Amino acid sequence: MRAFLDNLRLALGTFLGNPLRSLLTLLGIVIGVTTVITMMALIEGLRLKVNKDLSQLGANTFMATKWPTGFGRFNWQKYARRPALTSEDAHAIELSCPSVMSVAASDDEGGQKIVTSTQETRPSVRVYGATPEYLDTSGITVASGRFFGESEAVDGRHVAVVGLDVADALFPGQNPLGHEVRVKGRPFTIIGVLQRRGSFLGMMSMDNLVIVPLRSFQQLYGKARSLDLNIQAQGADLVNKAKDEVETLLRRRRDVAPLAENDFELHTNESMTQTFNQLSQVITIAGFGVCLLSLVVGGIGILNIMLVSVTERTKEIGIRKALGARKRRILGQFATEAVLLSLVGGAIGVGLGFGLAFLGRWMLGFPTLVPPWAVALSLGMSSGVGLIFGIYPAVRAARLDPVEAMRSD
């Protein structure tokens, strides 16, 4: 223990004796560790945000869609040839699947501008067309006013429920209920305002939307479009059974051969979480690749500075060995210096990573959370790099002949 403390004291003296050179040597390690901490903070924050946001999508629900979700290369022509999901499919599911409580059919169009006689939104509003069941299957809540009913949906009335971003942009400081807005040039009367939901993944606002009856939406944007079906099971323990019933029914209605793959997709909160996890794994691997490259560069710097240190202190080493210092004591001294150098670089990188994570959360509103394991892993990797690249200089110092070493200038 005493030998270790002596080595640590000598290592600190060497580091403090050449602070600028030491810090420049550690630049690669600092960059690598900062990269890992920052990226892990983003991924962990996003993971928690995804779980929270998905939990708001409606209890005991899953979706049937024409298009897949996920990351990677897809044969989009193949999916484009799939038949559309229709309102008739939604009605059939409600009638024929005993484990299903309700089904909402919906469609949407992004990049829309909503206007009044005096105000207009940016062309970033997403317009939804939906059936009345959408209120129960999508996790939304009406804060004031009401959602449209069955008769309004069947008749295709020009009524609308708006998110708070739209209400604030068009009617600042006013109650928007009863006012008229224009969607694609057509007048709609606001009958409800949704409760604020915030943003999805910290980036996309979930309050910048307008919901109109599906038939009204189809009058604006056309009927030859596939619908998304939000399906609510009778209970949490029946979600998987309801999913199997829906899959069997849709395969039969769409004449899918027994051994052929589905020509539709079923998405649950779990499957969407898995999709995010696939993305996070790719980002994590890329982050560790950058970190590894930076650590190797930093390790080469440590190797270089330690070799220089051995050369500069050859006479000192010779004197110590002549006075009885053993090889393992010299080896331990220089190995401790290398590990301390890299550990200092790792600590600086961790501090910078925490700082960048805080700035991302404070300035950009981006969800960030640094996991403890990322800190431990980063410090362990940086220490390991210092030990690996510091071994050769330490062994070289330990093997110096004391007589030859004392003769050096």
Q: How confident is the model at residue 94 (pLDDT cuts 50, 70, 90)?
A: very high
**Alpha helix stretches (DSSP H) within 210-268:** 214-221, 239-253
Residue 242 contacts residue 100 (beta carbons within 8 Å): yes
User: Tens digit of pLDDT for each residue in 297-311?
Assistant: 777 777 777 776 666
Q: How confident is the model at residue 405 (pLDDT cuts 50, 70, 90)?
A: low
User: Tens digit of pLDDT for each residue in 227-259?
Assistant: 999 999 998 888 889 999 999 999 999 999 988
Q: How confident is the model at residue 146 (pLDDT cuts 50, 70, 90)?
A: very high
Report d(CA 216, CA 183) in Å as an integer.
10
The total of other beta-carbon atoms located within 10 Å of residue 307's CB is 15
Helix, coil or strand: residue 295? helix
Least confidently predicted of 32-36, 197-201, 312-316: 312-316
* pLDDT recorded at residue 391: 75
Report d(CA 77, CA 330) in Å as an integer.
68
Report d(CA 345, CA 208) in Å as an integer.
44
**Alpha helix stretches (DSSP H) within 18-137:** 19-25, 27-54, 76-80, 87-96, 134-137
Q: With a cut of 60, say whether residue 131 has pLDDT above it.
A: yes
Domain ranges of the chain: 1-52+274-407, 83-263
Q: With a cut of 70, say whether residue 389 has pLDDT above it.
A: yes
Beta pairing partners, 181? 188
Q: What global pTM score does this model have? A: 0.66
User: Tens digit of pLDDT for each residue in 16-75?
Assistant: 556 666 666 677 788 888 888 888 888 777 777 666 666 655 568 888 999 886 555 567
Least confidently predicted of 40-49, 54-63, 146-155, 312-321: 312-321
Residue 282 contacts residue 368 (beta carbons within 8 Å): no
If you average pLDDT over every residue of the chain, what do you get? 81
* Dihedral (Cα; 82, 200, 285, 376), 10-degree rounding: -150
Percent of the chain surpassing pLDDT 90: 37
Q: How confident is the model at residue 220 (pLDDT cuts 50, 70, 90)?
A: very high
* pLDDT recorded at residue 166: 95
Least confidently predicted of 111-115, 315-319, 389-393: 315-319
* pLDDT recorded at residue 188: 97
**The Cα angle at residue 16 between residues 13 and 20, in degrees rounded to 5:** 145
Tell me which amino acid residue 333 is. Q
**Alpha helix stretches (DSSP H) within 97-224:** 134-137, 150-155, 164-170, 214-221
Report d(CA 15, CA 310) in Å as an integer.
14
* pLDDT recorded at residue 230: 92
Q: With a cut of 70, say whether residue 323 has pLDDT above it.
A: no
Beta-carbon contacts of 338 under 8 Å, excluding residues fewer than 6 positions away, are 302, 306, 386, 387, 389, 390, 391, 393, 394
Q: With a cut of 80, say whether residue 284 has pLDDT above it.
A: no
Helix, coil or strand: residue 125? strand
Q: How far is CA 112 from CA 2, 125, 167, in A?
A: 72, 5, 15
Answer with the residue of higher pLDDT: 17 or 171: 171
Furthest-apart CA pair in the chain: how many Å? 102
Percent of the chain surpassing pLDDT 70: 75
Beta-sheet pairing, 228-233 with 100-112: antiparallel
User: Tens digit of pLDDT for each residue in 175-186?
Assistant: 999 999 999 999
User: Tens digit of pLDDT for each residue in 341-372?
Assistant: 778 888 888 889 888 888 877 776 667 788 88
Tokens of 99: 């484990």
Across the range 320-326, mean pLDDT stands at 65
Beta pairing partners, 100? 233
Helix, coil or strand: residue 218? helix
